[in-house]
Amino acid sequence: MTSERSVGAAPATRDTIELEVLSLLRARLRTPVTVEQDLFADGLITSMFAMELVVQLEEFFAVAIVGPDLKLANFRSVAAMADLVRRLRSGARAAGSDD
Amino acid sequence: MTDRLAGGSALLDALVGDRAGDWDVAGLLPVEVLRELGRRGLLCAQVPGSYGGAGLDSLANGELTAQAGSRCSSVRSVMTSQGMAAWTIQRLADEDQRREHLGALTGGRLAAVGLSEPDAGSDLGALETRIRPAGGDVVLSGHKTWVTAAYYADLLVVVGRLADGAAAVVVPADAPGVSLERVPYPLGCRAAGHAHVRLDGVRVPWSNVLGGSPQSLSLLVATALGYGRISVAWGCVGILRACLVATGEHAATRRQFGRPLAGHQLVGRHLADLLVAEQVATRACEHASRCWDSRSPDMVVATVLAKYVSATQAVRGAAAAVQVLASAGAEDGHVVARAYRDAKLMEIIEGSNEICQLMLAQHMVTASG
């Protein structure tokens, strides 16, 4: 994996959703982050900031993050957020939701 | 939307009228007033029309909330509780649950949200209410304190621990094992039906667990409180508007030393400060609501800021109002006496001043606004 890759060095071959999430985060945080970095462990994301990300991802990617998808684990890393967006865009739902 | 807002304001005026003082002294709201507001969808007016709601945006609902707050902070508190319950359901529930519960909340049923506990006030991460799976059901045990509107509620949205996460569960208030003890003499919003709620092995179906699986406690709490905070903030605008009217009338008509009170410079300063307080709070709330309505991520911080600004301005403005009205307003039930007591509670609930300050400070150092 490319967990050590920095924001600025993300190559064009990366998934575009990950790149877009990276760029959203780069605009909000003062420090660069990597795709696999645990943002909670590093104290970069509070629950308040996670709520901002929910709104931002919903608006930017035209998805609704509700019900079982609204869990902190989905915001733990750029990769996790990109996975969530990718899944919501493909129309799949989280386990346990009959939405 | 403007028509709906106007209709809602008119109905609020008609139902509340000048009775708020009596309700405050009695410590009780007529439940039929709440049910009528509920049936019109006005207690949670941001619920979309597709779920039976009035479908107001945050700005229009804010104005409605301020209107309620200017008439009666106890009614406005019930509105905040119902709106928090509805918003929590809207965000956390699956589609079937949204249809069922939002339909109930816009059909005259009343709801309250149980968050605080004896050992978990500002520190909600310490909450101890347990939700245990039991076959096709879950069983809740715990103690919730200061649940606003619980005394009137048909449904309680209870937040507790489930597995290694948390969940919000819809509990019928008449379920076996639920018992209520009213807060006998609250400092403010005296008729809002605050109660301590005991859950002693309360069994409800799994289908009452919003979203059907464990969620993040911090996101769950942040979701519920986000709505609660902007609602309280607008409620404080209402408190200030009521103070503005009462104080303006009194200062213009009451004469001392041969001239109206407003003609005395030291009184004039109170009037100016009160006007500034109302305007500052209004602008902060409008900004936060516009962030909600434009789906801006700034809504989170703008909401905390609006709540903090409005509550502190309401406390100062209400104190100035009581000072100007003096003995004319120093009686329980009087609009400025209620404002004085109600506003102080608003500096405590849905995130105390200090918790808001901590969140704003943390925002400053972790994110580039």
Report the predicted TM-score, pTM, of the whole model to 2 decimal places.
0.91
In chain A, which residues have their Cβ closer than 8 Å to the Cβ of B212? 67-68, 96-98
Domain assignment of residue A40, yes or no: yes
> Quick one: pLDDT band at residue A13, thresholds 50, 70, 90?
very low
Domains in chain B (CATH in brackets) are 2-110 (1.10.540.10), 112-216 (2.40.110.10), 218-366 (1.20.140.10)
Domain count, chain A: 1
In chain B, which residues have their Cβ closer than 8 Å to the Cβ of A72? 216, 218-219
Task: Give residue-wise pLDDT tens across range A24-77.
Answer: 888 777 778 888 988 887 777 777 788 888 888 988 898 988 888 888 889 989
CATH label of the domain that carries residue A64: 1.10.1200.10
> Quick one: pLDDT band at residue A2, thresholds 50, 70, 90?
very low
Looking at the partner chain, which of B94, B296, B366 has a beta carbon nearest the beta carbon of A99? B94
Query: Between vectors from CA A91 to CA A87 and to CA A97, what angle results, nearest 5°?
Result: 85
> Quick one: pLDDT band at residue A88, thresholds 50, 70, 90?
very high
Classified as helix, coil or strand, B336 is helix
Please tell me the predicted confidence (pLDDT) of residue A14: 59
Please tell me the predicted confidence (pLDDT) of residue B367: 60
Domain assignment of residue A48, yes or no: yes
Closest chain A CA to residue B166: A71
In chain B, which residues have their Cβ closer than 8 Å to the Cβ of A94? 213
CA distance B71 to A91: 46
Query: Between vectors from CA A62 to CA A58 and to CA A63, what angle results, nearest 5°?
Result: 60
CA distance B359 to B354: 9
Please tell me the predicted confidence (pLDDT) of residue B173: 98
Within chain B, where are the H helices? 2-16, 20-26, 31-39, 58-71, 73-92, 95-105, 217-253, 265-293, 299-325, 335-346, 353-366
B366 with A59: Cβ contact below 8 A: no
Q: Is the pLDDT of residue A96 over 80?
A: no
Instruction: For the beta carbon of residue A29, count every other beta carbon within 10 angstroms.
Output: 17
Length of chain B: 369
CA dihedral B363, B367, B368, B369 (to 10 degrees): -50
CA distance B229 to B256: 41
B175/A contact by beta carbon, under 8 A? no
Domain that holds residue A21: 16-89
Above 0.90 for ipTM, yes or no? no
Domain assignment of residue A96, yes or no: no
Q: Tens-digit pLDDT profile for chain B (369 aa)?
A: 577 788 889 999 999 999 999 999 999 999 999 999 999 999 999 999 999 999 999 999 999 999 999 999 999 999 999 999 999 999 999 999 999 999 999 999 999 999 999 999 998 889 999 999 999 999 999 999 999 999 999 999 999 999 988 999 999 999 999 999 999 999 999 999 999 999 999 999 999 999 998 888 888 999 999 999 999 999 999 999 999 999 999 999 999 999 999 999 999 999 999 999 999 999 999 999 999 999 888 999 999 999 999 999 999 999 999 999 999 999 999 999 999 999 999 999 999 999 999 999 988 887 644
Domain assignment of residue A3, yes or no: no
Looking at the partner chain, which of B219, B221, B296 has a beta carbon nearest the beta carbon of A71? B219
Looking at the partner chain, which of A29, A66, A68 has a beta carbon nearest the beta carbon of B213? A68
Q: Is the pLDDT of residue A6 over 60?
A: no
B48/A contact by beta carbon, under 8 A? no
How many helices, marked H, and strands, marked E, lie in chain A?
A: 3, 0
Please tell me the predicted confidence (pLDDT) of residue B252: 98
> Burial level of B28, CB count in 10 A (0-12/13-18/19+)?
middle
Domain assignment of residue A56, yes or no: yes
